[in-house]
Amino acid sequence: MDSQAIRDKTVLVTGGAGFIGSHLVEALAPHNEVRVLDNFSSGDRSHLPDDVTIVEGDVGDPIALQEAARGVDVIFHHAAVVSVSRSVDAPRRSNETNLEASLLLLEQARQEDARVVVASSAAVYGHPDELPISESASTEPTSPYGIQKLAVDQYTRRYAELYDLETVALRYFNAYGPRQQGPYSGVISTFLEQARADEPITIEGDGEQTRDFVHVSDIVRANLQAATTEATGEAFNIGTGSRTSIRSLAETIKAATDSSSPIVHRDPRPGDIRHSGADISKANRRLGFESRVSLESGIQSLVDGTRLSPMEANAEPASDSMREGNPAR
């Protein structure tokens, strides 16, 4: 499927100045009229192209949302409190943004008859019963964040069934890439910061836990495909299909940065999920999605400060070369 297929549309990206949202806006802007709704609590205005329309406000504000969504064809919903720890510390506050505002957005989409592509999360699965994780796996989230994402995920699919609204939920695994920063950024950006400063690269636990790291350009491509697919009313895993141990990740980043940082371990986080990895066969079959950026090249691009465009036709498929030696069953 051509990832540039969405053209000449009026689109809204909530959280469009944030990490994933801003990359999506950049991909959409050359061929569409793009609006961004963001309260800039964590997003950066400088990440946005000059020719997009910015509505500064909260997605939970009905007036701001109505202004931003008026007449749109597609809404990409990325506004959220993305921190598990913040959801644990303040579950009601994160629920207002992650769930209540999302329900408000779905209602607004009904008024506009706009397709909605929602950023869901692998957090909906909790501790997986088997690997890789398919969309039919049990959903037992372990945090308020995961619970909220699961509720939004279910609402998104039910709105297609009950109200004939075109919706797609994308369950992102461990996203990484440029602009991922701040106290709640992912482990890759944290390890890179430590390695560049020649500070200890700090692993929580024994480092044998595994994750499926997916580059933001792959996530953007999945969003563009979801905007045109006929497979609406469904949820799709978005990852690479490969798992990498945290210890292997730390060693790769240390080598890529030519860092003298020692790799050290500290106590594991309570309740941390041991293994996570996506089965992306459904997304491949129904969306035409495949991961094109290997973890090695993704990390190297961050070290070099180069960009990987979601439109690059010759980007390499994600390799299995960093998959851990003993997959969990």
Active site residues: 145
**Angle of helix 216-226 relative to helix 19-28, nearest 10 degrees?**
60
Q: What is the DSSP string of 32-64?
A: SEEEEEE--SS--GGGS-TTSEEEES-TT-HHH
Q: How far apart are CA 66 and CA 295, in angstroms?
A: 39
Q: What angle do CA 36, 41, 43 make, to 5 degrees?
A: 50
Got the DSSP string for 210-230?
EE-EEEHHHHHHHHHHHTT-S
**306, two tokens:** 């180069």
Closest CA to 53 of 28, 77, 35: 35
The residues near 326 (Cβ < 8 Å, ≥ 6 apart) are: none
Spatial separation of the C-alpha atoms in residues 152 and 158, rounded to whole Å = 10
Of 121, 125, 173, 114, residue with least CA distance to 152: 121
Q: Which residues pair with 36 in a beta bridge?
A: 13, 54
Tokens of 83: 């921190």
**Contacting residues for 55 by C-beta, under 8 A, at least 6 apart:** 35, 36, 37, 38, 64, 67, 68
